[in-house]
Amino acid sequence: MSDHRPTLHDAVIVGAGPAGLAAALMLGRTHRDVVVLDSGAYRNDPTDAMHNVLGFDGAAPAEFRAAAHRTLAAYETVELRRTTAREIAPLDPADPAGGFVVRTDAGDVAAHRLLLATGVRDELPATPGLDALFGTVAAHCPYCHGHEFSGTPVAILGAGPHSPRVAGLVERIASRVVVLADDADVDPQVRAALDARGVAVRPERVLRLEPLTLPGGHPGARAVLEGGEAEELGGVMVAPALHQSAPFADQLGLDLRDSGCVAVDAMARTSLPGVLAAGDLAHTADFPMPVSSVTAAMAAGQLAAASIDSDLLGLAR
pLDDT number for residue 56: 96
Specify which residues 41 forms β-bridges with.
Answer: none
pLDDT number for residue 5: 60
Per-residue pLDDT tens over the stretch 33-91? 999 999 999 998 989 899 999 999 999 999 999 999 999 999 999 999 999 999 999 99
pLDDT number for residue 4: 57
Q: How far apart are CA 293 and CA 303, in angstroms?
A: 15
pLDDT number for residue 2: 47
Regions in the chain scoring below 50 on pLDDT: 1-2
Per-residue pLDDT tens over the stretch 267-280? 999 999 999 999 99
Specify which residues 277 forms β-bridges with.
Answer: 116
pTM over 0.85: yes
Q: Which residue ranges form the domains of the chain, and what is each CATH number?
A: 9-121+241-312 (3.50.50.60), 125-237 (3.50.50.60)
pLDDT number for residue 288: 79
pLDDT number for residue 316: 59
Question: Which own/partner contact pairs does 61-69 have at CB distance under 8 Å and 24+ positions apart?
Answer: 64/18, 64/294, 65/16, 65/21, 68/18, 68/21, 68/25, 69/21
* Beta strand spans in the chain (E): 9-14, 34-37, 78-81, 85-90, 100-104, 107-116, 120-123, 138-139, 153-157, 176-180, 200-202, 206-213, 219-225, 231-233, 235-237, 241-244, 262-264, 275-277, 282-284
